[in-house]
């Protein structure tokens, strides 16, 4: 079969188009099943693309990583049948065959790297020497699998292709230039590129932004999809598809080309004609090296961050936004807390999944009118990538420089088929996405500081700490903890400080309990909070004034115990009792913070 490396020395490599949208599978039947149920049909599609001029074909096995992760019976047989059909077709023209692996789910129980490795080894055993990992939105576990391939097949050619939106981000919020750079720096990936999601014009723009010494690949969709009652159609014309990609090849930007969703043999034939008009060269000139010059740092600290980074103990205080459209009372409360000595106002994003005024809009209003630093909570719930990005850009423009990234509570509903939650990524991926928006040539001139949640009351705190480390690795700078209302929570805070290090900023959560009923409710109905029995018992028979006084006393004791291991305090306002929190801040400054 064809030697990919030798071919790329003289001319571009042309892949086939999209088996999944061209092969007419029965409704509800996965295209890959046809390897066993309709081998003649799959073989015919391969031959059509090769007759159109493709140099390489992909095995009809895109969904195998997902099937393998789910332990679907027979996925090995689908791999074998798909491989044999592609090889049979390719032998007739001498084309190359690539083992095709789509995205694998990445879970703690079955990591993506484990899945990719199992499927890739299956193909290697069948004789595969070329591998395509395509339509990826993340590189989780990918390099582990590539390393395993190279160990078994040292001369293997591995192409990795990411699916990105026209703005350059994957659906998991990863930036294409960062992903390409990691593939470049790995030393084991042979080519990198983009496929799917974007149409030819948008992908051409994206490809021109990518640099590196690795061969670059582009395989766009035929166009953007049109959804009819029964199917999804792509109406992009072959002539336009070929012209846009031909320009990239002529400029020397890309060395590997092909098609994804909606591309037919007609698209590949048109592109073949464009490529055949290019002059033959001895060697494709390498693209510009990735820059190793450090990007200029933008001074981006506000008053809260300057104080925190200077080592001073800070006070952040949470005040839930109103349930109505009237902000008058809220702004008055925020102003009182600011005067009492709060350094930062945090605003929850519809806590307990109950609608309130948008936390980001409230944060902008408070910052604009009071000059108080704000930390809006941003959940992964109910916002897709576009909505999240739009909100972040607005926050930055309004001068908000901190955000708390959390997964968020799911919306409770009995109508599960009618009300759907949107969870496009978790808090770790959200943090990575927020951080990636800043930098030279990107949407934000300077970075936003991302905080996360740390549950000191987690039953398996070692797991919670492991996740906290992952959050730091993904760009978070620190944590706001759940309320400290037990000796165990203090011990876990101490352990956190030792494990996460001094660079991770930790604000210890303090929430005054105000009554026995309040304590019982928090213990039983609020996730992540543990109130010890002795605290619950102490509130028996107390009226409101007595309850508040006892709540203040306990909060002061918890703050004293927590502060040696924290960079500040995160105060949570119960029932919007601003006057109570004014008293708490005053006593903290007088009785606790003075020691620091």
Q: What is the pLDDT of residues 325-339, one digit of tens each?
A: 999 999 999 999 999
- Selection from 334, 341, 335 nearest residue 359 by Cα: 334
541 in a structural domain: yes
CB 353 within 8 A of CB 324: no
* CATH code, domain with 237: 3.20.20.330
| Contacts (Cβ under 8 Å, ≥6 apart) of 14 | 53, 54, 55, 56, 257, 258, 268, 271, 272, 275
Residues in binding site:
196, 260-261
Query: What is the structure's pLDDT at 351?
Result: 78
Residue 205 and residue 106 share a domain: yes
Mean pLDDT of 532-553: 96
Residues in binding site for Zn(2+):
196, 260-261
What is the pTM (predicted TM-score) of this model?
A: 0.74
Q: In this predicted structure, which of 119-128, 390-399, 417-426 has the lowest mean pLDDT?
A: 417-426
Mean pLDDT of 280-307: 54
Q: In this predicted structure, which of 142-156, 273-287, 509-523 has the lowest mean pLDDT?
A: 273-287
Residue 74 sits at φ, ψ, to 5 deg, of: 90, 5
Query: What is the structure's pLDDT at 469?
Result: 96
CB 44 within 8 A of CB 3: no
CB 493 within 8 A of CB 565: yes
Residue 298's pLDDT band, with cuts at 50, 70 and 90, is very low
pLDDT tens digit sequence for 558-587: 999 999 999 999 999 999 999 999 999 999
d(CA 160, CA 146): 10
Share of the chain above pLDDT 90, in %: 77
Query: What is the structure's pLDDT at 407?
Result: 82
Max CA distance (Å), the chain: 90
Query: What is the structure's pLDDT at 27?
Result: 59
For residue 124, pLDDT beyond 50: yes
Query: What is the structure's pLDDT at 41?
Result: 94
CB 544 within 8 A of CB 512: no
Domain count, the chain: 2
215 in a structural domain: yes
d(CA 585, CA 552): 10
Residue that is last in its domain, among 276, 294, 325? 276
Buried-exposed string 55-94: b where 16+ CB fall within 10 A, e elsewhere: bbbbbbbbbbbbbbbeeeeebbebbbbbbbbbbebbeebe
290 in a structural domain: no
Residue 262 and residue 322 share a domain: no
Domain housing 115: 4-276
Residue 113 and residue 210 share a domain: yes
293 in a structural domain: no
Residue 446 and residue 369 share a domain: yes
| Contacts (Cβ under 8 Å, ≥6 apart) of 166 | 198, 202, 205, 206
Query: What is the structure's pLDDT at 415?
Result: 45
Mean pLDDT of 525-550: 93
d(CA 507, CA 480): 5
Query: What is the structure's pLDDT at 184?
Result: 94
Mean pLDDT of 298-306: 75
Residue 247 and residue 115 share a domain: yes
CB 256 within 8 A of CB 12: yes
Strands 130-136 and 157-162 come out as parallel
Provide the residue count of the chain. Answer: 596
287 in a structural domain: no
Query: What is the structure's pLDDT at 422?
Result: 56
Q: In this predicted structure, which of 9-23, 157-171, 521-535, 568-582 has the lowest mean pLDDT?
A: 521-535
For residue 417, pLDDT beyond 80: no
Query: What is the structure's pLDDT at 296?
Result: 38
d(CA 48, CA 95): 13
Residue 351 and residue 258 share a domain: no
pLDDT tens digit sequence for 230-253: 677 788 899 999 999 999 999 988
Query: What is the structure's pLDDT at 110?
Result: 93
């Amino acid at each position: 079969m064809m030697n990919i490396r030798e071919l790329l020395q003289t001319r571009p490599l042309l892949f086939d188009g999209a088996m999944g949208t061209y092969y007419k599978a029965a409704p509800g039947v996965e295209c890959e099943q046809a390897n066993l149920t309709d081998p003649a049909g799959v073989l015919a599609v391969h031959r059509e693309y090769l007759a159109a001029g493709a140099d390489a074909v992909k095995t009809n096995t895109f969904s195998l990583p997902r099937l393998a992760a789910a332990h679907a019976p027979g996925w090995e047989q689908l791999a074998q049948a798909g491989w044999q059909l592609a090889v049979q077709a390719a032998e007739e023209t001498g084309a190359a065959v690539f083992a095709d692996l789509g995205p694998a789910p990445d879970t703690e129980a079955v990591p993506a790297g484990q899945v990719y490795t199992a499927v890739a080894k299956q193909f290697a055993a069948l004789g595969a020497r070329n591998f395509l990992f395509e339509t990826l939105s993340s590189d989780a576990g990918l390099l582990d699998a590539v390393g395993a391939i190279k160990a078994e097949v040292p001369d293997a050619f591995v192409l990795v292709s990411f699916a990105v939106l026209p703005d350059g981000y994957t659906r998991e919020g990863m930036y294409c230039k960062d992903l390409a750079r990691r593939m470049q720096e790995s030393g084991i990936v042979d080519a990198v590129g983009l496929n799917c999601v974007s149409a030819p014009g948008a992908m051409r723009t994206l490809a021109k932004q990518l640099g590196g010494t690795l061969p670059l690949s582009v395989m766009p969709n035929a166009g953007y999809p049109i959804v009819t009652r029964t199917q999804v159609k792509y109406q992009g014309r072959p002539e336009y598809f070929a012209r846009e990609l031909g320009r990239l090849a002529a400029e020397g930007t890309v060395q590997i080309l092909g098609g994804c969703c909606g591309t037919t043999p007609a698209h590949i034939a048109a592109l073949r004609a464009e490529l055949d008009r290019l002059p033959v060269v001895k060697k494709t000139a390498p693209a510009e090296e990735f820059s190793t010059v450090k990007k200029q740092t933008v001074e981006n600290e506000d008053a809260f961050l300057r104080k925190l980074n200077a080592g001073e103990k800070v006070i952040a205080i949470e005040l839930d936004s109103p349930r109505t459209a009237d902000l008058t009372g809220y702004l008055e409360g925020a102003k009182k807390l600011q005067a009492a000595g709060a350094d930062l106002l945090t605003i929850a994003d519809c806590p307990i999944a109950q609608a309130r005024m948008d936390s980001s809009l409230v944060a902008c209003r408070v910052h604009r009118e009071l000059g108080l630093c704000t930390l809006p909570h941003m959940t992964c719930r109910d916002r897709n990538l576009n909505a999240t990005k739009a909100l972040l850009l607005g926050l930055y423009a309004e001068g908000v420089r901190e955000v708390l990234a959390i997964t968020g509570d799911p919306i409770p509903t009995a109508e599960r088929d009618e009300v759907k939650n949107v969870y496009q990524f978790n808090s770790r991926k959200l943090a990575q996405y927020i951080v990636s928006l800043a930098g030279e040539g990107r949407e934000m001139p300077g970075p936003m500081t991302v905080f996360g949640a740390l549950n000191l009351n987690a039953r398996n705190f070692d797991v919670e700490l492991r996740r906290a480390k992952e959050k730091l690795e993904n760009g978070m700078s620190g944590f706001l903890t759940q309320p400290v209302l037990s000796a165990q929570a203090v011990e876990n805070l101490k352990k956190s400080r030792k494990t996460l290090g001094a660079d991770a900023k930790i604000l210890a959560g303090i929430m005054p309990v105000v009554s026995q009923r309040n304590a019982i409710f928090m213990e039983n109905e609020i996730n992540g909070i543990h109130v010890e029995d002795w605290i619950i018992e102490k509130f028996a028979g107390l009226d409101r004034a007595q309850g508040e006084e006892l709540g203040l006393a306990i909060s002061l004791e918890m703050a004293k115990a927590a502060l040696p291991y924290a960079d500040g305090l995160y105060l949570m306002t119960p029932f919007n009792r601003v006057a109570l929190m004014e008293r708490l801040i005053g006593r903290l400054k007088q009785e606790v913070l003075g020691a620091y």
